[in-house]
Amino acid sequence: MRYDDRRAAGLRLARCLDFLRGQDLVVLGLPRGGVPVAFEVARGLDVPLDVLVVRKLGVPRRPEWGFGAVGENGGRVLNPDVLQEAALSPAAQDAVERTERAEVERRVRRYRNGREPVPLAGRTVVVVDDGLATGATAEAACRIVRDRGAARVVLAVPLGPAGTVERLRGTADQVICLQTLPFLGSVGTWYRDFTQISDAEVAALLARAGRPAAASPVTRPTADRELQVPVGRLELAARFAAPDAASAVVAFAHGSGSSRHSPRDRYLAAALSHAGLGTLLLDLLSDDEERDRHNAFDVVLLARRLHAAALWLRREIALPVGFFGAGTGAAAALEAAVLPGADIRAIVSRGGRPGLASPAALARVRAPTLLIVGSSDTRVLSLNRLAADQLRCEHRIAVVPGADHLFEDPGALATVAELSRDWLTAHLTRQTNSTPPRRWA
């Protein structure tokens, strides 16, 4: 998966690092390219941002081939394998190092503009770059941070080769890499916009980070509310949330063994709420019904209840409705979408089993449908591809690299949130109902 630009990568990385929120944190960006990424991470976590100047030591005539790196406060890391293969003499090595140390000093003066470095002693420090190649620069940065007294060092990057990531786990306390690749090539090939960052841009971002953010209109979700949704003779437990002036609402259909309390679905619902969408996390089975596992695979039963909940939801708030399904809930969402009067505007499936829906229903679905599957979940990926072949609506399969069925790998669930948000906001807001939504007291 390619990133639009460094800012987009930083936004995704910030969501993945949300588990650090509340700690005594400092974010350090590696210039130049790592600073725009780090800026979004620091802003997302609401913590200080600083720069850590580190320069790669490149082999003469092949500067992209790094034999080490140097940084502030005399830090240095060498790669003996590259030194041996390049047959670099000590004199040539020293010449490169003198040049790069002079550049380190120049950049420190330019970027900080007389400001003192943010203190690191006793704090958790997140070192951020726009990607890893050899890892020499990141390794030097982590060692420098450790020497400055950091209690814990976290290296966070949007992408990097598997071998480099694994090696750096011995240097940092934790390595967060959104995309770990068997072969990287150039970092820039994984960005649609990889425009070179100037010194002025780095200095401007650091200056902005040091000022209080100007107040801006931010959509804030209302607190979650427990509701009872009438479905025939039953009332199903649900959790509802909606921001002010929500543009649409998404009903969640959980997979077998899950419920409205699912941490994964609540995380995804929060991401949709921040994008201006209401969410309804719905338990399609009563407590007694859940004791019989066969009910969780009764797609027709689940679909009828989801359909009834969608009709009730649209009557209550007069907004477009979309579905989000996981596991068997994805099949129920597709079946429910073709029932009379459903008028479902978009569907997202996370690790779903759309093939459990009938072939007739799949062929009749008209709501744009996104099927999200982890690349490591090979069986479900194959089943999703077979189901997609039967869809006649606008649809897409999005494969999350390295993710398993539960999307537990670092960054996987954040990727699901981003894909779901973009798909649902794009399709649910194409047409909006002008009737004012009804507010629950």
pLDDT at 224: 63
- Average pLDDT on 297-312 reads 93
Are both 163 and 192 inside the same structural domain?
A: yes
Measured CA to CA, the distance from residue 229 to residue 250 in angstroms comes to 14
Measured CA to CA, the distance from residue 28 to residue 371 in angstroms comes to 36
Question: Whole domain around residue 357: which residue ranges?
Answer: 225-428
pLDDT at 379: 93
Q: What is the pLDDT of residues 266-294, one digit of tens each?
A: 889 888 888 889 999 999 988 788 778 78
Whether residue 219 lies inside any domain: the answer is no
Measured CA to CA, the distance from residue 210 to residue 115 in angstroms comes to 10
pLDDT band for position 435 (50/70/90)?
A: very low
Number of domains in the chain: 2
Are both 203 and 232 inside the same structural domain?
A: no
Are both 304 and 409 inside the same structural domain?
A: yes
Are both 238 and 192 inside the same structural domain?
A: no
pLDDT above 90 as % of the chain: 43
Whether residue 73 lies inside any domain: the answer is yes
Are both 293 and 154 inside the same structural domain?
A: no
Does pLDDT of 217 surpass 50? no
Does pLDDT of 87 surpass 80? yes
* Final residue of a structural domain among 182, 209, 236: 209
Are both 145 and 277 inside the same structural domain?
A: no
Are both 259 and 198 inside the same structural domain?
A: no
Kind and range of the H or E run holding 416: helix 412-428
Per the document, the length of the chain is 441
Are both 172 and 260 inside the same structural domain?
A: no
Tokens of 304: 């009828």
Whether residue 316 lies inside any domain: the answer is yes
Strands 277-282 and 234-241: antiparallel
CATH label of the domain that carries residue 394: 3.40.50.1820
Measured CA to CA, the distance from residue 11 to residue 22 in angstroms comes to 18
Are both 54 and 186 inside the same structural domain?
A: yes
Whether residue 439 lies inside any domain: the answer is no
CATH label of the domain that carries residue 157: 3.40.50.2020
Q: What is the pLDDT of residues 49-78, one digit of tens each?
A: 999 988 888 888 777 677 888 887 777 778
Average pLDDT, the chain: 86
Whether residue 216 lies inside any domain: the answer is no
Are both 195 and 239 inside the same structural domain?
A: no
Q: What is the pLDDT of residues 172-203, one digit of tens each?
A: 999 999 988 887 778 888 898 888 888 888 88
pLDDT at 76: 78
Are both 324 and 415 inside the same structural domain?
A: yes
* Final residue of a structural domain among 166, 185, 209: 209
Whether residue 129 lies inside any domain: the answer is yes
* Final residue of a structural domain among 157, 180, 209: 209
Are both 57 and 165 inside the same structural domain?
A: yes
